[in-house]
Amino acid sequence: MLEFDRHRRLRTSAAMRDLVRETHLNKDDLIMPVFVDATISGREEISSMPGIYRYSLGSILDEIKEIVSLGIKSIIIFGVPEKKDEVGTGAWEDNGIVQQAIRLIKKNYPELIVIADTCLCEYTSTGHCGILKDGVVLNDESLEYLTKTAVSQVAAGADIIAPSNAMDGYVAAIRQGLDKAGYENTPIMSYAVKFASSFYGPFRDAADGSPKEGPKDRKTYQMDPANRLEALREVASDEKEGADFVMVKPAMAFLDVMREVRNHTLLPLVAYNVSGEYAMVKAAAANGWINEEQIVYESLVGMKRAGADLIITYFAKDVAKKL
Ligand code: PBG
């Protein structure tokens, strides 16, 4: 007599498989990225991200309406300013493009959670996420501008601040700045584990945020993709400084890190399914080489299985349509 386990018993029908499925995608988990652009009228498709657009202030509410009608409850907003300068004034001025967009969106959709990406790279003439001096991206000086940006975004109505500029101490600085301004109830979603990744390529086209002066990459402030323990140190620091959420970014090539972080933090964990991940799937699907819907499902459910609670994804609308 052969002795073995019959795992196939639990796979005999769709209903049986539904019964024993361990991980589920929910609309509540999805965060849709939105780009607002001060330099265009109407909307413009991002060439390396088919189906994703930059919107003018005049056209952005059409997109928000669609997002809300699909049952998605949160967005993360990125801006492209009219002008760039060395200190990224467009990121923190009261009438910056993101501040105007947040006011408009929250006025029309007060229930929608608006997360503000807090960084300088789309707004600095250097294309760096902080202040560049003598070829170095300065840490502590950059914190001042980042904090100003966060406070102005919350003043405009942002519900959550998501700092992504990868300076040390940014959570502490922003927490202190928000508290001083009376915003002690506004959570911080830290891009705690942000790798220096080529998977951000299409985003940098979309938001015109590539380094233009000084170092050609962000390797002195974003993490080395080869490192795992360093990710845990980043999370520990951000927790100590007061982060309310932590993020791992990119997602698909870093699911081991996602799981490790899940096992080390009690905070809600966010996966960022980034622009390059979207572009690869779209390109292969456009060629008829893969089944897009299935590949997207497997990718996102994999992020949740690895421990993510929430997923920022350019596929959010597509997925919400199927749920
Ligand atoms: C800003 C920022 C970036 C992304 C999110 N916030 C670009 C970068 O760090 O170069 C990338 C998002 C994506 O690729 O989808 N610092």
Give per-residue pLDDT as tens, 185-206.
999 999 999 999 999 999 998 8
Ligand 1 atom 11 nearest Cα: 200
- Identified catalytic residue from 249, 282, 304, 317: 249
Rounded CA-CA distance 191/181 in Å is 22
Question: Consecutive sets of 10 residues in the chain, 323 residues long: mean pLDDT of each?
Answer: 96 98 97 97 96 98 98 98 96 97 98 98 96 96 98 98 98 98 98 97 89 94 98 98 98 98 98 98 98 98 98 98 95
Ordered by start, the domain boundaries in the chain are 26-322
- The yes-or-no answer on residue 65 being catalytic is no
277 lines ligand 1 (CB under 6 A): no
Amino acid type, 229: L
274 lines ligand 1 (CB under 6 A): yes
Look at residues 305, 306, 299 and name the one whose alpha carbon lies nearest to residue 316. 299
200 lines ligand 1 (CB under 6 A): yes
Contact 274, 321 (CB under 8 A): no
- CATH, range 26-322: 3.20.20.70
Question: In 3-state terms, what secondary structure has residue 218?
Answer: coil
Give per-residue pLDDT as tens, 224-262.
999 999 999 999 999 999 999 999 999 999 999 999 999
Instruction: State the pLDDT at residue 274.
Output: 98
> Binding-site residues, please?
119, 121, 129, 204, 218, 234, 275, 314
Instruction: State the pLDDT at residue 115.
Output: 98
129 lines ligand 1 (CB under 6 A): yes
- The yes-or-no answer on residue 194 being catalytic is yes
Judge if the upstream peptide bond of residue 50 is cis by omega within 30 degrees of 0: no
| Other residues' Cβ atoms within 10 Å of the Cβ of residue 269 | 25
What does the DSSP 8-state code read for residue 8? G
Rounded CA-CA distance 245/191 in Å is 9
